[in-house]
Amino acid sequence: MSTSDPLARTAAARRPEPRRSLLVCAVVGAAVMAAVDEIVFHQLLHWHHFYDRSTSGVALLSDGLLHTAELLALVAGFFLYADLRRRGALAPGHAWSGVFLGAGAFQVFDGIVDHKVLRVHQVRYGVDVTPYDWAWNLAGLVLLVIGGVSLARARRAGGRRVS
Amino acid sequence: MTAGPVAAPLALACVLAAVVYAVGAVRLRTRGDAWPWLRDCVFATGCAAVVWGLAGPVPGGLFTAHTGRHLLVAMAGPALLAMARPLTLVLRLLPPGGARRGLLRVAHSPAAGWLLFPPVAAAVDVGGLWLLYRTDLWAATHRNPLLGGLLELHMLLAGLLFAMAVCRLDPVRGRCGLPLRAVTLLAAGAAHAVLAKSLYVAGPPGTSFAAADLRAGAHLMYYGGDAVEVLLALVLAAQWYAATGRRRARQAAREALPAGAR
């Protein structure tokens, strides 16, 4: 066969896919943040409770769904990321902003919906929880801001390259 | 789950299956077939997990030990067994003829197709678990050893059914798309996690386990379930990765052809 390897031929036409890079890495970021939450606050510090006695049925169901979805997202995210790498379609700037946006979104969602609206569990027990809640949600906000700024920079850089 | 009348024969059958699989894989290789060694290891590990859960010593209080056995016999073991593609191995080994045709007819029968439809398999597997922990079934299995034994058999078979339905590595009836299998895994995992958390505060009806035992068991069930779920998710993700790569290679090969030959 005189033509080269078909995969190598498509490699010549490799194009970064910023949108997909952003989305896939946001999934990875959210799932990694969830894993950090589970390992650090549940297992190492024992701040969060496995089961808060005031947990309602709806909260239990949402917690079960979210926890399982996190696990599946972690696996799916890494395989989707590997696929982007394999195709040479990863846009690094968008990917990093995706990681921060995903992590921040999870942190704020966990802090507001899980801790405050559904009251699945609290950040810490036996202390005044207000400063912990502020710290939790502000940390999430900082992650979101970092993600937003890096996304804007990646977009500007991408725009320059195209023009 | 205690050692009932079914546990010993079931464990023996598992050991036998491991031997048959190993011998069969060696025969395939000497014949010239490619059969990865990893599959032999995975099948042997799965059999070891089931045998350990049925007959081996498991640490912890009564409920925690039960959860550990359940994890081995109904979840980790069957997942590993399904990953080793036992049906594919048997079909390759059987000579063309009655036995092979019969086995294929069973695998491709409408009944098998229904049972291996992922939501049905999940309902059989996780639904059975909810019945065991949230009705008087648990107390009944402890009064009646035969019922307890049948429960052990059901747990192994239902676990195998679920793993085969979700992974779909063997040639069974019907194709199921990745989205349906992934959503089924999500729903089954969530139902398992919710049950585990609810057991943290309230044990099965008609039982009185120590609170610490119940909590340790619920923890083990929750995080053990996570481990098996990740294992199954890895199988699905690897399938997707390989299939996407193949599709793209085909597409590239088509595009490489001159326009007239397409």
Which residue numbers in chain B have pLDDT < 50?
Answer: 1
Domain assignment of residue B1, yes or no = no
Q: Over the stretch A33-48, which tens digit does the pLDDT of each residue have?
A: 988 888 887 777 777 7
Percent of chain A exceeding pLDDT 90 equals: 37
**Secondary structure of chain B in the HEC alphabet?**
CCCCCCHHHHHHHHHHHHHHHHHHHHHHHHHCCCCCHHHHHHHHHHHHHHHHHHHCCCCCCHHHHHHHHHHHHHHHHHHHHHHCCHHHHHHHHCCCCHHHHHHHHHHCCHHHHHHCCHHHHHHHHHHHHHHHHHCCHHHHHHHCHHHHHHHHHHHHHHHHHHHHHHHCCCCCCCCCCHHHHHHHHHHHHHHHHHHHHHHHHCCCCCCCCCHHHHHHHHHHHHHHHHHHHHHHHHHHHHHHHHHHHHHHHHHHHHHHCCHHHC
Task: Please check whether residue B249 is in contact with residue A6, taking contact to mean a CB–CB distance below 8 angstroms.
Answer: yes
Contact B201 A53 (CB under 8 A): yes
What's the average model confidence in pLDDT over A137-161? 85
Domain assignment of residue B220, yes or no = yes
Contact B252 A6 (CB under 8 A): yes
For position B224, what pLDDT does the model report?
Answer: 94
Which residues in A lie closer than 8 A to residue B236 (C-beta atoms)? 75
Q: Report residue A1 as tokens.
A: 């066969």
For position A2, what pLDDT does the model report?
Answer: 41
For position A159, what pLDDT does the model report?
Answer: 63
Q: Over the stretch B150-182, which tens digit does the pLDDT of each residue have?
A: 888 999 999 999 999 999 999 888 788 999 999
Cβ of residue A139 closer than 8 Å to a chain B Cβ: no
ipTM: 0.87
Of A10, A67, A83, the CB nearest to B241: A83
User: Chain A 68-97, CB below 8 Å of chain B: which residues?
Assistant: 68-69, 71-72, 74-76, 78-79, 82-83, 86-87
Structural domain of residue B142, as residue ranges? 7-261
What's the average model confidence in pLDDT over A68-94? 93
Domain assignment of residue B2, yes or no = no
Is a pLDDT exceeding 50 seen at residue A152? Answer: yes
Domain assignment of residue B185, yes or no = yes
For position B165, what pLDDT does the model report?
Answer: 95
What's the average model confidence in pLDDT over A63-85? 93
Domain assignment of residue B66, yes or no = yes
Residue contacts between A and B (CB atoms, under 8 Å): 85
For position A1, what pLDDT does the model report?
Answer: 39
Q: How far is A108 from chain B (nearest CA, A)?
A: 22
Residue whose entry in the numeric block shows the structure tokens 């195209």? A162
Of B197, B248, B253, the CB nearest to A64: B197
How many domains is chain B built from? 1
Of B182, B194, B245, the CB nearest to A60: B194
Domain assignment of residue B236, yes or no = yes
Q: How far is B257 from chain A (nearest CA, A)?
A: 9
Question: How many other CB atoms sit within 10 Å of the CB of residue A98?
Answer: 30
